[in-house]
Amino acid sequence: QALEAARAEIARQLNARESEIVFLSGGTEANNLALRGYALQHRERGHHIIASRVEHPSVLNTLKALEKEGFECTLLATDRYGRVDPQQVAAAIRPETILISIMHANNEVGTLNPVGQIGALARERGIAFHCDAVQTFGKLSLNVQSLPVDLLTISAHKIYGPKGVGALYVRRGVSISPQLYGGSQEQHLRAGSENLPGIAGFAEAARLMGRERDALAQRIGRLRDEFQATLQQRIPDLVINGHPEQRIYNTLNISIPGCPGDMLLLNLDMKGIAVSTGSACNAGKVKSSHVLTAMGLSSRLSGSALRFSLGRDNTREEIDYVVTELTAIVQRLRSK
């Protein structure tokens, strides 16, 4: 009963049917099930998949694995804002294309993709469209009746729900093969006992976010815009990464030339400020963000990038504190 009540709530938030919601362990598993499940089920129809270079690693690495199984994947470049051009998607389509996967909002820079146009294009050509909407579910209105999407990934912890739970929307009539075998749970698509406490928490978080969504978007968006404007005044050569308008309201990704991202991160952390950088340390080697690289940023700019994610509990006082501390840190690093 609790499971079906939760399913009904998630379906309501997406304007979907309850039977179209499959619960699983998060966005990563949902992306794996969408891509592998669809590709393997339909490989006799074709073996070509289109995605972008700025997708989440759970999409890019799943596609790499599918390439080893005989699939061909075209990864599209983006513009300098990290946005995918629908015309480029159209140009990449081949007779053997069976699936297109483009994220709604980028997790690093926040840029929003024209997924309505891309989905309409896919539908026109008889190709399935998957959209990773982990960054936008609960923050923007998502209606699968008007959005031409066949598979949609969402997750709980991005909307203050528990970690380790997510869902995949599978449009009625779209067939995918399960990637876990065992019992008949989740319409035979995801074997194993459901994480009931996690799923109930997910549904409650979705309900609360749905209720507060517009007010939060306005308040956090205003806070982010003020934060950005003040930083631009204090640090005039600061670079904004991501689209100036078509961007999710809670994300600010910046580059500060001449200031290494890891040093900025360390100094901010010492002041109690949590940010992430535009690079990742993998096996002892510092590697630039694949998103910023795909957007054409130089290693100098991607190496000095910081991502700020604002949330419902952030205040103007906190923003003022961050601006003051970051400005002082930049001056200190540049004077060395």
What's the first-to-final CA gap in the chain, in angstroms? Answer: 63
Q: In this structure, what DSSP letter does residue 79 have?
A: -
HSE-up of residue 223 (Cα within 13 Å, Cβ side): 22
> b/e map of 154-185 (b: 16 or more CB within 10 Å)?
bbbbbbbbbebbbbbbbbeebebebbbeeeeb
Catalytic residues: 281
Contact 134, 107 (CB under 8 A): yes
| Token reading at 170 | 């599978």
Contact 216, 210 (CB under 8 A): no
Of 212, 265, 187, 261, which Cα lies nearest the Cα of 21? 187
The whole-angstrom separation of Cα 172 and Cα 277 is 40
